[in-house]
Amino acid sequence: MSGPEFLEVNGRWKWTFILLDTNTSSAKAGHSPISFSSRAGAEEDFRQISAAPSDLKGRAIRPKEQIEHLVRVAAEPCEDCADIVFAPPQWQEPDGTGCNWYIATASGSDVAGCIDCFDKELSALKASYNIPDE
């Protein structure tokens, strides 16, 4: 594996990697679906994702607590999310996209504005990660 790279863009950090298989002459690449406020945050996320198993569709299986943390991290850059409290992720049968979790509720002064602001990041998390089956 080519070691991960940690990139800073607009004050936020992301990780990326390329995995080369010299036996089959193939490569696999990956990148963080969200950005982090610090390089240390991106590095910790890369450590966690590197240790996570994957499901049959290639989504990493991450504990609910990690998904809950990542939802908060994804919302950080949005001013409308400053006082929003998200419910922990809930398991569901995989939806049409293959995602098996959802956020049931959120509370705070501007939930709609918050969701509008970070919907792209939330969608990226749901496309990348599942939680353990219940």
Nearest to 31 by CA among 124, 101, 120: 124
Enter the pTM of the model. 0.90
Which pLDDT does position 79 carry in this prediction? 96
Cβ distance 110 to 80 under 8 Å? yes
Average pLDDT, the chain: 93
Would you place residue 125 in the very low, low, confident or very high pLDDT band (cuts 50, 70, 90)? very high
* pLDDT tens digit sequence for 59-72: 999 999 999 999 99
* Average pLDDT of span 123-132: 97
Which pLDDT does position 2 carry in this prediction? 62
